[in-house]
Amino acid sequence: MIHVEQTPNPDSLKFLSQKILSKVGTEEFRKSNLSNIKIPFIREVLNFSGVELILISDNFLTVKKEKSTSWDSLKPMIISHLNDYFEKNDDPILVKNKTDKKSDDNETISKIKDVLDTKIRPAVAKDGGDIKFKSFDNGVVKVELQGACSGCPSSIMTLKQGVQNLLKHYVKEVNSVEAI
């Protein structure tokens, strides 16, 4: 059963599944990178007219559409495609690659990632998005906003008032946060 939720971004919808969609955490896929995407389900949805990007997490899929596209036709297509996938497959859409390895991080970066994972990512996921750590240098944390958060009008306010304040509170080395 697929449930659909609105997100703060009117061009994004969150499709919740009772089945696991990803065993690798949250990943974002953009239509502009279609030629590099090997996962058939992702390629097919990105080929739907009007779909810009897909964000897949453990139990939800966020789809961001072009402004000119209506949800009236797109929403049933996505629900149908998800249901069809799970009628034919027992495995999640994203599964672990045996060559995936964790990189060794320094203590400050580990603290930053921990705050992002435990305090920020769950809140952002409720709105159909995700936040990915990209780098930390000279007190500046760079993150990437994904899914419904990508291009959302309130994302800069969320970034500065929410993410930056939490990171500065929990990790004294952090001075500011920027989206890339």
Q: Looking at the DSSP assignment, which residues form a beta bridge with residue 64?
A: 12, 53
Residues 6+ away with beta carbon under 8 Å from 87 = none
Q: Which long-range contacts (CB under 8 A, 24 or more apart) does 158-165 make?
A: 158/124, 162/120, 162/123, 163/116, 163/120, 163/131
pTM greater than the 0.85 cutoff = no
The tens-digit pLDDT sequence of the chain (180 residues) is: 899 999 989 999 999 999 999 998 889 999 999 999 999 999 999 999 999 999 999 999 999 999 999 999 999 999 999 999 999 998 999 987 654 445 556 889 999 999 998 888 888 888 888 888 999 999 999 998 888 777 776 777 777 778 888 999 999 999 999 888
SS3 label, residue 65: strand
SS3 label, residue 99: coil
DSSP 122-166: HHHHHTTEEEEEEEEETTEEEEEEEETTTT-TTHHHIIIIIIIHH
SS3 label, residue 46: helix
Burial class (CB in 10 A: 0-12, 13-18, 19+), 88: exposed
Is 173:108 a contact under the CB 8 Å cutoff?
Answer: yes
Structural domains in the chain, CATH included, are 2-88 (3.30.1370.70), 107-179 (3.30.300.130)
Structure tokens at 6: 């609105």
